[in-house]
Structure 1
Amino acid sequence: MEFRRLGRSGLNVSEISYGNWITHGSQVEEEQAQACVKAALDVGITTFDTADVYANTRAESVLGRALAGQRRESLEIFTKVFWPTGPGGPNDKGLGRKHILESANASLGRLQTDYIDLYQAHRFDPTVPLEETFLAFADLVRAGKVLYIGVSEWKADQIRAGAELARELKVPFISNQPQYSMIWRVIEPEVVPASEEAGISQIVWSPIGQGVLTGKYLPGQAPPAGSRATDASGSNFISRLLGNDELLTKVQNLRPIAEEAGLSMAQLAVAWVLQNPNVASAIIGATRPEQVQENVKASGVKLDAEVLKRIDEVLAGVIVDDPSLGG
C-alpha cells in the first residue's frame, strides 16, 4: 500500500480507502462486513470512510464494531453530515449548527472513538449561511472531536468560498469527496483546478463506475445475481448506466488494455483515478474479502501516456465531463 498527503495537510491516507456506503448494514451481513474490514486492514488500508446516513446510521455502527480493538493512531476514520437520520424534525438535516454538533456527537458514539479524523459536509447547503457551517466545524476542531474538515460533491465556487472561510477561522479544510471514474469526469474542468488552488485533494467514490467498469454487466443481459444492480439500496444509482448498451459495449473493449497491463478490469479502473495527482485516495467497497484483496493491487500502479490515450479512445462518446452535472 502506498500513501499520499491529503491536500496541503500533514495527514497521510492510504491510496486505497475502504468505504461502506451500500454494503454495511444493508447489502451484507455483519459477519461478512467484519471479514471485509479485516481484509482491508490485512492488505494495508488505514483509511475508512462512512457517513451517518449510510443504512440510516447502521453502517457507522458496523464499522465502529469492526475497528474496535485496533490501534486508533494507526487509522484514519472519516464520516459525513448533512442528510437526515432521525425522526425527520425541522433541524434533523442540513448544515446548521444544531444538526452538525448533534450529528458529530452521535457519530462519535456509533464509531466508538473520541475523535473523527475527517468530518465532511456531505453536500452543500444553500439554506444555511456558510459562516455558520464553518464556525460549527471550527468549534468541533477546537474541541478535539474532529481533526480535519472536508466536503463532498461541492462545486468549484463553493469550494473556493469554503476555503476562504476556513483560512479566516484557521480550520484545516483539506478534501472534497466527489464521484470520479474513467466515465464520470465532471470534476476535471472546474473542481480540480479550484481544489488545487485551495490546497485540497479529492477522495473519490465509485472509481469503478458503480461496478460497470469491472466488465461484469453485459449489454442486453440481466445483472449478475448478488451484484450492486440487484440491491435496492444501490440499484437506482446504477440503473441509468445499465440502460446504456453503447457504454457497456465500450467497457468490454477495455479488457485487452487491462490484460496487457497485467491488471483486472477493476484494478485498471482504480489505477486510472489514481493517475490524477489531485486524487489522494480512491474509495472501494466490498461484499467479499476477495474484492478488497484484488482492488488494493491498484495502489502504486503507473499507467503510461499511451495506455491513458487508448482508454480515452475506447470510451470516446460515453465519457461525461460536463461540470454542471457535479454536486
Structure 2
Amino acid sequence: MPEILNYPFSQFTFNTIKTKLTRGVEARKVLSRKFQCVLTEDQRKAVVKNGKDSLDICRVVNGMWQTSGGWGKIDRDSATNAMLRYADAGLTTFDMADIYGPAEDLYGIFINRVRRERPPEFLENIKGLTKWVPPPVKMTSSYVRQCIDVSRKRMDVASLDMLQFHWWDYSNPGYLDALKHLTDLKEEGKIKTVALTNFDTERLQIILENEIPVVSNQVQHSIVDMRPQQKMAELCQLTGVKLITYGTVMGGLLSEKFLDTNLAIPFAGPPLNTPSLQKYKRVVDAWGGWSLFQVLLQTLKTVASKHGVSIPTVAVKYVLDQPAVAGSMIGVRLGLSEHIKESNAVFSLVLDEEDVSNIQEVSRRGKDLLRIIGDCGDEYRRA
C-alpha cells in the first residue's frame, strides 16, 4: 500500500457528523441500534456486538501481515506450529487478509490441526479475522460472493468469523454496494460479522446511516499516532462501534532494541530491514523525529522497568486502555521469532495515573498527525 505523509488536512469537520447523528430518522436508527463491547473479568477478551451480531476476540490479536514477505522466509510447518503455541497460550485471535500472501492458507492448515489435535471447546475459542481489499471495480453481488468464497476456501471455514472491508477510492461510492452484498452473505451464514479497515470518520458515518451493521473498524493507532482518539473516537462513543488497532508497537520501533540509538549515523543502530520498520519510521519522522522518539522510548522504559515488563507491553496496554479500543494487533513472525510471554503480560499490567501522565506528556510534544496525514486511513488514499 502506498504511504503518503504530506497533504492538506481535510475540511470535513466532526461537527457535521455530530449534527447528522443527533437529528433525523436515519440518525435515530443508528443510535437506537445495540452496539456493545463487553470485556471479560480478566480483561483478556472483548465481545463486540452490533444488534444480533456478536463476536468474542482476544484483546491482543496476532497480526499476520508478517507472513506476506519482507520479514523472512516462512516455513509452513514451522508457522502452523507457532500458531498452535500462541493459541495454547490463550492468544486465540488471528488477523490476516486476502492480500497477505499465504496468510489465509496458513490459517486453513492451522484450523484443521486444531480440529484434529485439540478438543471441541478449544476450537470454539479460535477466531480468524480476515480482510477483503478489492480493487475499486463495480461491486456486483456475484463478484463479492466469488471473492468471499475464495477466502472461505483458503481458510477452510464455512463462515468467516469477521470480514473487514477496505476501500481505496471514496470518489467511487461502490463501497456501499459491496457492504450491502457482504451483509447479504452474513445473513446467509457465510460471514459471522462484517467490519471495516482503514475507513475514515466521514465514511463510517455514511455506512452507519445506511444501516449497515459493522461491528468494528481496524485502524493504525499507537502512542505516536493518536489520530483515532480524535474524530473517530467521538463517533465510536456515539454509536458503539469499536476499534481494532494495528501499528501499536510500530513494527518493533517501540521496543528496547531501538532505545539509545542514533539512526542518523550509518550502521549505528539496528537496520530498518522490514516493511513495517520502514513504514513506521516515516510516521516517527512526521510526528517529531528520532530525538523526540528517543525521549518517548526512555519514558516507556521507565514505566516498563517499574512494572517489570517490556516497552512493547506498555505500548500495547496504553492503546488498549483507550475507551474505543476493543483489541490491538501485535505482528507475529511465525516460526522466526516469538513474543508470547510479552503479549500475555499485557493482561496483568495496570498503568497508574503517573504512568499515563508521563506518557501523554511526551506524546503531546509531537506534531498533530491528523493535520499532517489526515483522518484514519487517509495515508492510503491521498496524494
- Pairing 1:326–2:368 present: no
Distance in 1 between residues matched to 2:368 and 2:344, nearest whole Å = 26
Q: CA deviation at 1:173?
A: 1.4
Q: CA deviation at 1:16?
A: 0.7
Q: CA deviation at 1:10?
A: 3.3
Q: Residue 111 of structure 1 corresponds to which residue in structure 2?
A: 155
Q: Residue 80 of structure 1 corresponds to which residue in structure 2?
A: 131
Q: Residue 234 of structure 1 corresponds to which residue in structure 2?
A: 276
Distance in 2 between residues matched to 1:6 and 1:162, nearest whole Å = 18
Cα-Cα RMSD:
2.5
**Deviations, residues 206-264 of structure 1 (Å, cap 9, x unaligned):** 11122111132222354536xxx313x43541341566322432233121121112220
Q: 2:319 aligns with which of 273, 285, 296?
A: 273
- Pairing 1:264–2:310 present: yes
The one-letter code of the counterpart of 2:209 is: E
Q: Residue 45 of structure 2 corresponds to which residue in structure 1?
A: 3
Percentage identity across paired residues of the two chains: 23
Q: Residue 67 of structure 1 corresponds to which residue in structure 2?
A: 111
TM-score, length-scaled by structure 2: 0.74
**Aligned 8 A contact 1:195 1:201 in 2:** yes
Structure 1 segment 250-261 matched on structure 2, within 5 A: 250-254=295-299, 255-261=301-307
- Pairing 1:182–2:223 present: yes
CA distance 1:302–1:143, shift in 2 (3 Å) = same
Q: Residue 164 of structure 1 corresponds to which residue in structure 2?
A: 209
**Aligned 8 A contact 2:248 2:328 in 1:** yes
Distance in 1 between residues matched to 2:307 and 2:167, nearest whole Å = 37
Q: SS state of the match for residue 270, structure 2?
A: coil
Q: SS state of the match for residue 216, structure 1?
A: helix
Structure 1 segment 33-52 matched on structure 2, within 5 A: 33-52=79-98
The one-letter code of the counterpart of 1:118 is: M
**Deviations, residues 12-38 of structure 1 (Å, cap 9, x unaligned):** 211111110123565342244223312
**Aligned 8 A contact 1:180 1:186 in 2:** yes
Q: Residue 291 of structure 1 corresponds to which residue in structure 2?
A: 339
Distance in 1 between residues matched to 2:168 and 2:340, nearest whole Å = 31
Distance in 2 between residues matched to 1:235 and 1:256, nearest whole Å = 23
Q: Select between 194-203 and 127-136 the one with higher mean Cα deviation.
A: 127-136
Q: Residue 150 of structure 1 corresponds to which residue in structure 2?
A: 195
Q: CA deviation at 1:7?
A: 4.5
Q: Residue 351 of structure 2 corresponds to which residue in structure 1?
A: 303
Distance in 2 between residues matched to 1:212 and 1:277, nearest whole Å = 24
Q: 1:136 aligns with which of 177, 181, 184?
A: 181
Q: CA deviation at 1:160?
A: 1.4
Q: Residue 87 of structure 1 corresponds to which residue in structure 2?
A: none
Q: Which structure has the larger Rg over C-alpha atoms?
A: 2
Q: CA deviation at 1:201?
A: 0.7
**Deviations, residues 113-156 of structure 1 (Å, cap 9, x unaligned):** 11101111123542134441222111111221101110011111
Distance in 1 between residues matched to 2:229 and 2:49, nearest whole Å = 16
**Deviations, residues 78-108 of structure 1 (Å, cap 9, x unaligned):** 1111245xxxxx84xx866454322211111
Please, which runs of 5 or more residues in structure 1 have no aligned partner? 85-89
Q: SS state of the match for residue 256, structure 1?
A: helix
Q: 2:256 aligns with which of 208, 215, 218?
A: 215
TM-score, length-scaled by structure 1: 0.85
